[in-house]
Structure formats: C-alpha cells, structure tokens
Structure 1
C-alpha cells in the first residue's frame, strides 16, 4: 500500500474512533446541515451525525483506490500518481476537519460554516489546479471532455490553462470568507464560469487541431 493510501486509511479509522468516543456525549438530534447564511436547517439522529461521514470516507477510499487499477490508461495515471495521492490525502483531511467542526458545533462550540467551508473548498480547488497541471490523459481524473480525451495535445493545453484557472478560483473562493453573505456566489460563480470556459476551450483547440491536419 502506498504512503498516501495508508494516510487516507488512517483518517478513515480515526473518523470511526472519534464517532465511537463521542457517541454517548452527543445530543439525540444533531445539527447535520447548514444553509448559505450559516444557520442550521436540518437535524439528524446521533448515528447519522457521527457516522455518515466515516462511512462516506470508506466509500470514497474504495473508489479512489480502484481508479488507478481500472482505468484503461492506468500507465498514464502512474506518471502523476504522487499528485493524485496527495489530492486524496488533502481531501480526506479537509473532510475530517469538517467532521470535527460539526462535532464541536454540536458540543456548543459554534464557528460559522461560511468561514470553514469556503476555506476548505478554496484550498482543495487550489490543489486541484496543481493536480491538473501534472495530469496525463486518462478516463477518470482531470478535465474529461470528448475533445481532451480524443487528443493528447488538446488534453495538455486544456489542463495547463485549467490548472492556472483552478488556482485562481481557489483563491477567489477563500476570499468569500470576507463576504459571508455572498459566500455561495463566491463558490458557484467562478466554478461554473471556469468549467464552461474549459469545455469551450477544449472544443476550440480540437477544432483548430483538426483544421491544421486537414491543410
């Protein structure tokens, strides 16, 4: 098992241990969801509040471990496997942090989710930018449009600019911490614009490549 896989598995185990240790101290109904204003808008049972995320981590762990094994272009994934493993570790750490934050909230130690969530998402986006810059063509990881998957050159160009854009988006999302009433806008607007732009960009680059070959 690779180092990143061991760390991810350790985080899964730690989450279950935390859930078991905190079970008797949690209220029967736990806050489990917060709206865009940072207010609780849904509650769940103690079991749901403490074990939904650990079981989610189990599922994610299995999926992330399977991807490099089942991808037809697995040899390409191995070329940037270090960045992929680091992404998994970062993602799991952020989820564990959110899990601990929700437990503390239910203990009465309340910190606005409009500080926690955009910071975590922003950091994740920034690292995804690094991952994209190093990703080789494959079927599961990266900007997978019909045109990036059909051309190595289009894949490389799209991921080069995509990596830069994702880093910028990550920083913009983190800025949302200072504008908490509009935090959802800071997350969705740049994310959707970037996704749309990269789809169009990959199509344009593919068409340009086709026209070059036809000349």
Structure 2
C-alpha cells in the first residue's frame, strides 16, 4: 500500500522551485548572452539568457513525475520497502540542480570565479557516492535502479546486482573526487572510464547471475 506524501517529498517539491526562483531574481540583471557550455580546454560557449529558464525549470516536471511513478508501477508495493531512500534520492537530485544553476549564474556575472570542470566533477562524484549508498536499498521496480531483463526477471539477481552496483558507484564517486586534482583532459578520461565501468560491471554480472540461476533451476 502506497504511503501518503512524506515530509521529505514535500521538501523535494519546495527545492524543485528554487532554481526557477534563482533565475527569476537575477534575470533582469543578466546580460543577453550567458555561459551554457564549457569544453575540455576551458572554452566557454554562450547562448541566449532565456536558456536559463530551461535549466532552472527542468526540476519541476521531475518533481511532478517522481511521486506519480510509484503509483503506476506494476510493482508499486515494493516501493514501501525503500520509500525513504526514494524520497531522499529526489532531494539529492534537486540539490544537485540547484548547484548547477548557481554555478551558471555566478559564472555569468563573474567569469572565471568557479573552476567549472573541477566543481562539476566533484559534485557529480559526490552524487555517485550518495547513490552508491542508496542503491542496495532499492527493490524491484520498473522506474528506478539498475533495470535490465535479468534484474527484472529475478528478485535474487536484482538484489545481487544492486549490492554490487552500490559498491561500483561508490568507488566511482571516490575515484572521481580524487580525479578533481588532475588536469582537465586526464580528469575527464578517468571520470568517464570509471563511470562506464561502474554501470557496466553490475549489468554484466546480472546476466551471469541470471544464467547461473536458470542453470541451477533445471
């Protein structure tokens, strides 16, 4: 049975509007062009300041969608087993987007104040550390976690995969934090490789575990 909206869920909804408020407060003072992209060489691409509304508003549809998904999931009863983690995940994502919006606004008014590559790498790495701790708590569902044919077909495989995935994501986050001290291009290479490995390894193992499970069942 699905629970009513928790305090954490309400907090996530409030946080979802913070980026929009941030943009609205400074919008009249923004120049016509704002930074929208930073490449590996530190070069900045600029775009119309109206694009900040998209950055600031992207959290709102997610805030609406997150509470709906458990209620339409065929395995919605499983959410009761990890609902607190599901709510916390929403809060973490909203905080992350607040950080991204803040970086863009600061760099618009004071270019060069933030080492964008380093800060973003650090924030994403922290996100992985948090997700790594949360992932083993997730139970079978169709909308969140490491979903593939093998984890959805077997609850045992789901549990094993998410325990391993939690470890690989946590490790990727720690390595990503250390990579912040590297130059831009090596940092990206390390970060990209550990991210791919963190996702690929548990998915490959889920296939192996499922095949073993099916072999034992014969």
TM-score under structure 1 length normalisation:
0.93
Task: Identify unmatched segments of 5+ residues in structure 2.
Answer: none
Q: Which residue of 2 aligns with 1:149?
A: 152
Q: Which residue of 2 aligns with 1:87?
A: 89
Matched, 1:70 2:97: no
TM-score under structure 2 length normalisation:
0.92
Q: Which residue of 1 aligns with 2:169?
A: 166
Q: Which residue of 2 aligns with 1:57?
A: 59
Q: Which residue of 1 aligns with 2:10?
A: 6
Contact 1:36–1:183 at 8 Å: present in 2 too? no
Aligned pairs for 1:190-205 within 5 A: 190-205=194-209
Q: Which residue of 2 aligns with 1:116?
A: 119
Q: 1:46-87, CA deviations, whole angstroms, 9 ceiling, x for partnerless residues? A: 2212x1122211122122222211111111112101111111
Matched, 1:207 2:211: yes
Task: Identify unmatched segments of 5+ residues in structure 1.
Answer: none
Q: 1:6-55, CA deviations, whole angstroms, 9 ceiling, x for partnerless residues? A: 22221222222221210111111111111123331x22212212x11222
Contact 1:148–1:154 at 8 Å: present in 2 too? yes
Distance 1:36 1:66, change over 3 A: farther
How far does residue 174 in structure 1 lie from its aligned partner after superposition?
1.3
Where is the helix percentage greater, Structure 1 or Structure 2?
1
How far does residue 4 in structure 1 lie from its aligned partner after superposition?
2.2
Give every structure 1 segment of 4 or more consecutive aligned residues whose post-TM-superposition deviation is greater than 4 Å.
Answer: none
Contact 1:68–1:78 at 8 Å: present in 2 too? no
